[in-house]
Amino acid sequence: MESATSNFSTLDWWIVGIYIAATVAVGLYANRYIRNMSDYVVAGRSLKSWLGVATMLGSEIGLVTVMYTSQKGFNAGFSAFHIGIVAGVSCFIIGISGLIVVPLRKSGVMTIPEYYGKRFGKPVRVIGAVILTISGILNMGVFLKAAGIFITSLTGMNDPGAVNVVMVILIALVLLYTILGGMVSVVITDYIQFVVLSFGMIFVCLIAVTKVGWTPLVETVQTVHGNAGFDPFDGGGFGTPYIIWMFFTFGIVSCAVWPTAVMRVCAAKDEKTVRQLYKWSAVGFMTRFILPQFLGICALAWFWQQGGAQPGGIESPFFAAEGGTVSNSDETLRAMPTFLAQILPVGVIGLVAAGMLAAFMSTHDSYLLCWAAIIVEDVISPLTGDRLKMKTRLLLSRIFIFLTGVFLLVWSIFYPLKEDMLDYLAVSAAIYFTGAFAVLLFGLYWKRASSVGAIGALLGGCCALFGLSAVREKVGLTEANVGFAINEAHIGLATITLAVILMIVLSLLFPDRKTNANSTPEAN
């Protein structure tokens, strides 16, 4: 089973099979501990500091994270490190200050829309939950594609149809143990995956830099990307608006507003644990970007040295004839796993594949569980007068997990990814979080925040959809039409500003008759 383009062997397949079988077995075993929605969604609110850190990082260091961050390293060089730096700094600041997350834990909610309901009433809860679910599921829409590209590139399966086959198998495995195990299986598998992947990533980076060499790394980045490959403020690369956008998106939001992270907050034992969770997770939030980005840079140097820049070179699909890397997102996503397939020895490559697959499953189970819980607890349950029995809630959660998995498979197969995956993820998530940030911030810290203001902010946040390049082209927001270049960072920052303005102005114009930071307004 050796491949001409990969060191992946029969031994490596056995390693992957045993590891994945053990992971699924954990999900099946965890089913015996599920008694109610609290167990299923937030693990009975029993997470302590170190287990909380491991499970949070286990979900955030997923295969998709490794793929989209390595792609940024390949396409931008060392300047991409700024994303990891702002993520780590933001996480530590939130741990020190308790911004948003500590008040949320004190409120006793299981989900963010549940907080909307307690603070602003049922309409805000339902509207916020619908927007969050749509945004979140669209955000997940490319996860399977990333996993399929990784596995086929790592193992040397060059048949175009192999990606789709791999995606079907992966989503089936994830659905199996997530539906049965809920948050208990998530916590257990996250912990295992965190340990394996943390040491594995460091080890792989050491092998990579040994194979490539430090001097060739620096020289290649300089040749391919110029000064923009080192300076993120360079106008030819990221630029200041993009850095601010990353500080907000992969810094504050990913830590304090994104639902899968907030689920860990809600599952924490107490407020002290929440603070410790973020302070100790700061290094992990930083390295989850920087280590894969470094692997992407190593892949860039490796293929460049092999003649990739020359016509007919070994890996010429990764480089454009006019210079720089190609614009095809699928091709640049393949660069890092193809690089690992060629440098890692037999046995090691199997361990890496198993760890990455476990990371993929860990991320997927957390996200699937999160969106299903929100649909049931924050849309269906409020609309039915909160009369659903616990058995019905659990059944509905499992049904929506399955339906979401089917949608993700269809979306991954048919959606053409045009931009870097990181930028797609930031924009699709911003449909939710730009409005949610305004609602949470003012709802938690401003007594005059009203339900009308909250609805306005949530709906205003949907304007982030224009950050997708395909949407901008459809509506004519192109440089040719407006006279200057508009990118996702400009749209995102404008949408945040709009959501905050709507929250403040509408709250002042349409105040609730009585507001309380911990109760529903009388007007609702």
What string of DSSP letters covers 141-205? Answer: TTHHHHHHHHHHHHHT---TTHHHHHHHHHHHHHHHHHHHHHHHHHHHHHHHHHHHHHHHHHHHH
8 A C-beta contact, residue 329 and residue 110 = no
8 A C-beta contact, residue 130 and residue 379 = yes
8 A C-beta contact, residue 499 and residue 438 = yes
Cα gap 189→170, rounded to integer Å: 16
The answer for 520, left when phi > 0, alpha when psi is -120 to 50, beta otherwise, is beta
Cα gap 330→420, rounded to integer Å: 9
**163-171 LR contacts (CB < 8 Å, sep 24+):** 164/413, 167/409, 167/412, 167/413, 168/409, 170/144, 170/357, 170/360, 170/361, 171/144, 171/364, 171/405, 171/408, 171/409
For residue 329, the model assigns a pLDDT of 84
- Tell which residue, 110, 128, 31, 114, has the closest CA to residue 454: 128
Supply the Cα-derived Rg of the chain in whole angstroms.
23
For residue 95, the model assigns a pLDDT of 87
Predicted TM-score of the model (pTM): 0.85
Question: 36 in helix, strand or coil?
Answer: coil
Pair of tokens at residue 299: 């892949």
For residue 30, the model assigns a pLDDT of 56
- The hierarchical CATH code for the domain 10-426 is 1.20.1730.10
Cα distances (angstroms) measured from residue 40 to each of 107, 117, 245: 19, 21, 34
**pLDDT tens for the chain, residues 1 to 524:** 334 478 899 999 998 888 777 766 765 665 555 444 444 444 444 444 444 445 555 455 678 889 999 999 999 999 999 999 999 999 899 989 999 989 988 888 877 898 999 999 999 999 999 999 999 999 999 989 999 999 999 998 877 688 889 888 888 888 876 776 554 455 555 666 666 677 778 889 999 999 999 999 999 999 999 999 999 999 888 999 999 999 999 989 888 888 767 766 766 677 887 887 788 778 878 888 999 999 999 999 999 988 755 544 444 678 877 777 888 888 899 999 999 999 999 988 998 888 888 778 777 777 887 788 888 888 898 888 888 887 888 788 889 989 999 999 999 888 888 789 999 999 999 999 999 999 999 999 999 999 999 999 999 999 999 998 878 888 887 767 777 778 899 999 999 999 999 999 999 999 998 644 444 443 33
User: Which helix or strand (DSSP H or E) is residue 395 part of?
Assistant: helix 390-414
8 A C-beta contact, residue 63 and residue 147 = yes
Cα gap 91→252, rounded to integer Å: 7
Q: Which amino acid makes up residue 105?
A: R
- Tell which residue, 96, 91, 130, 94, has the closest CA to residue 112: 130
Please count the CA atoms within 13 angstroms of the CA of 494 that sit on its side-chain side: 12
The set of residues, in sequence order, having a beta carbon less than 8 Å from that of 17 and lying 6+ positions away, is: none
Question: CB neighbours (10 Å) of residue 65?
Answer: 22
